[in-house]
Amino acid sequence: MSLGRKLVPVVALLSMVATGCEFDPTAATTPEASGCDGLAGTLGFGFHEDLDPHGGSTYVGTEGDDVIVISGGPVTVNALGGDDVICVNDVFATAPDAKVVIDGGEGNDTIIGSVTTHEVCTGESTSNCDEGTIAGDELCEKVVDYEATMVVTLTADVHCPSKGLETINSSAQPLDIDITIDLNGHSFTAAFGDAVTTAGPRLGTKVGIANGTLDRVDQSRSELTLTDVTIDYVYSIDADLLILDTTVNGRVDSRSSGTARIERSTIGSANGITQGDPLVLIDTDVVSDGVIGAIEMTGGSVSGAQYGYRGVGNQFGTVGRFTDVEFFDNDWALYSVGDSSGLTLADSLVRNNRIGVEVGSITHGDVVITNTTIEHNSEAGVASQFTQSVTFDGSWIRHNGFGTDGTAQNDAIFVWSPRTFTIIDSIISDNAGRAINFVLSSHPNPPDYTVTSSLIGNNGLPGCGELPCYP
């Protein structure tokens, strides 16, 4: 196929697809200094070259058939016409001056790769390094360490016997890598490691994957978007992550100083251990192992977990914020202890858990529960220890503490020495034990306790522990 004057930047090619030159990935022979796959070289290493102290060597071919041997770099090849054979030899990805730019010209030109282990292009021209349709194993053990735009559409399932696609950044300078993979309803898996591993300078490497099945993705220092994908596991560190309309059977592990966002998806669990923005979930259902760390969630549900939400101790800045979220069928619906920085629950429903909300030692923030119903939790609705403050505003705490068999067991709210405790426009009724049980034995100083425009009554036991129900 003809290059048609298209510049193709190439370094150490192994499995390039649809670059405009015909590429022979099966050519295993190593070019000699003046030969190329058994053909005598007519141009290249050992032949006349135009030297530029900054741009390296330039070789200009003929309008006939040339055999061009490239060794080292930087090198520019203008092959001109004819059916040319071009061998790329001994050009290493990590060499900062190893760029090779090939203009094959007219005719059917064949590029034969080198013995090095990287497939690398420099992106110095406006052409794409890799583009086209890939079906089969071309994605397997494919390493991208160059500036390039690559568009991949699968036409069959791909299972790599070893590793899958990997982007890296061995250059001292940021590399612009933009890869789009349309799984096209197929699966992409790897027997060893991850189907896709992305790494590079922040905002330099962008990978988008859509419409199919993956096993694992490992992302660092890059931008990754998953759309309409079924995947087992996502690991993201110091990166920007966006997941849309996707099913994650296992965990989304976001340990990031970047941004992470999940929308309209179903996931097994999510880990928001982050020094950057919280992990954001929108209209997403968490169905097995809950969410942990710095989480900001709007819409959706959390169910079937030991901890629906677990705040992380000893992580200043860790905050859980939940709006319009349903927590059900968890052991603890929300559990936040240690030196975390507060918990906010608004317009939500917490029901049919063993314990609704348990918080303790939140020394840097507050617990605020607004316009939320906490009901039918078998042991307790809310348990709080050693927090800065606890506030109920416009909420309903009812039918808690009856145990799994309906036998009366516990109080609706168990409070152990917050600094302030406030109830505004709320109802605490029809619970198995006390509405509130204040325990002050270890901390005899009572909290700043306020009840405003609220109803506390019709509970199984009278009183509120060591304080009156109404101060």
HEC assignment per residue over the chain: CECCCCEEECECCCCCCCCCCEEECCCCCCCCCCEECCEECCEECCCCCEEECCCEEEEECCCCCCEEEEECCCEEEECCCCCCEEEEECCCCCCCCCCEEEECCCCECEEECCCCCCEECCCCCCCCCCCCCCCCCCCCCCEECCCEEEEEECCCCEEECCCCEEECCCCCCCCCEEEEEECCCCEEEECCCCCEEEECCCCCEEEEEEEEEECEEEEECCEEEEEEEEECEEEEECCEEEEECCEEEEEEEEECCCCEEEECCEEEEEEECCCCCCEEEEEEEEEEEEEEECEEEEEEEEECCCEEEEECCCCCCCCEEEECCEEECCCEEEEEECCCCCEEEECCEEECCCEEEEEECCCCCCEEEECCEEECCCCEEEEEECCCEEEEECCEEECCCCCCCCCCCCCCEEEECCCEEEEECCEEECCCCCCEEECCCCCCCCCEEEEECCEEECCCCCCEECECCCC
Are both 194 and 164 inside the same structural domain? Answer: yes
Number of domains in the chain: 3
pTM (2 d.p.)? 0.73
Residue 2 within any structural domain of the chain: no
**pLDDT of 39 above 90:** no
Model confidence band, residue 317 (pLDDT cutoffs 50, 70, 90):
low
For residues 2-15, average pLDDT: 31
Are both 30 and 150 inside the same structural domain? Answer: no
Residue 118 within any structural domain of the chain: no
**How far, in Å, CA of 432 to CA of 184, rounded?**
55
For the chain, the residue count is: 471
Tens of pLDDT, residue by residue over 143-173, are 776 666 777 888 889 888 888 888 876 555 5
Are both 340 and 422 inside the same structural domain? Answer: yes
Residue 292 within any structural domain of the chain: no
Residues contacting residue 237 through CB under 8 Å, at least 6 positions apart:
219, 220, 221, 255, 256
Instruction: Give φ, ψ of 287 to 5 degrees.
Output: -115, -5
Looking at per-residue pLDDT, the higher value among 247 and 2 belongs to 247
Q: Which of 50, 85, 112 is the last residue of a domain?
A: 112
Are both 99 and 172 inside the same structural domain? Answer: no
The predicted structure's pLDDT at residue 21: 33
Looking at per-residue pLDDT, the higher value among 33 and 308 belongs to 308
**pLDDT of 377 above 90:** yes
Model confidence band, residue 82 (pLDDT cutoffs 50, 70, 90):
confident
Are both 36 and 177 inside the same structural domain? Answer: no
Q: Please answer whether residues 436 and 428 qualify as being in contact, where contact means their C-beta atoms are separated by less than 8 angstroms.
A: yes
Model confidence band, residue 186 (pLDDT cutoffs 50, 70, 90):
very high
Q: How far is C-alpha 434 from the chain's CA centre?
A: 45
Q: Which of 231, 249, 274 is the last residue of a domain?
A: 231
349 bridge partner residues? 326, 373
Which residue type does 170 have? Answer: S
Are both 346 and 469 inside the same structural domain? Answer: yes
Are both 89 and 197 inside the same structural domain? Answer: no
**How far, in Å, CA of 374 to CA of 396, rounded?**
6
Tens of pLDDT, residue by residue over 92-117, are 444 444 556 666 677 776 766 543 32
For residues 272-288, average pLDDT: 84
**Which residue range(s) make up the domain with 452?**
306-471
CB neighbours of residue 230 within 10 Å: 16
Residue 30 within any structural domain of the chain: yes
- Strand 260-263 relative to strand 240-244: parallel, antiparallel, unpaired? parallel
**How far, in Å, CA of 354 to CA of 202, rounded?**
43
Are both 108 and 134 inside the same structural domain? Answer: no
**pLDDT of 316 above 70:** no
Averaged confidence pLDDT in the chain:
75
Render the burial of 375-396: b for 16+ CB within 10 Å, e for the rest: bbbbbbbbbbbbbbbbbbbbbb
Q: Please answer whether residues 114 and 95 qualify as being in contact, where contact means their C-beta atoms are separated by less than 8 angstroms.
A: no
For residues 52-71, average pLDDT: 73
**What separation in angstroms does the CA of 142 have from each of 137, 165, 171, 215, 221?**
9, 5, 17, 17, 19
Tens of pLDDT, residue by residue over 324-333, are 999 999 999 9
The answer to whether the peptide bond before residue 74 is cis (omega within 30 degrees of 0) is: yes
Residue 162 within any structural domain of the chain: yes
Residue 291 within any structural domain of the chain: no
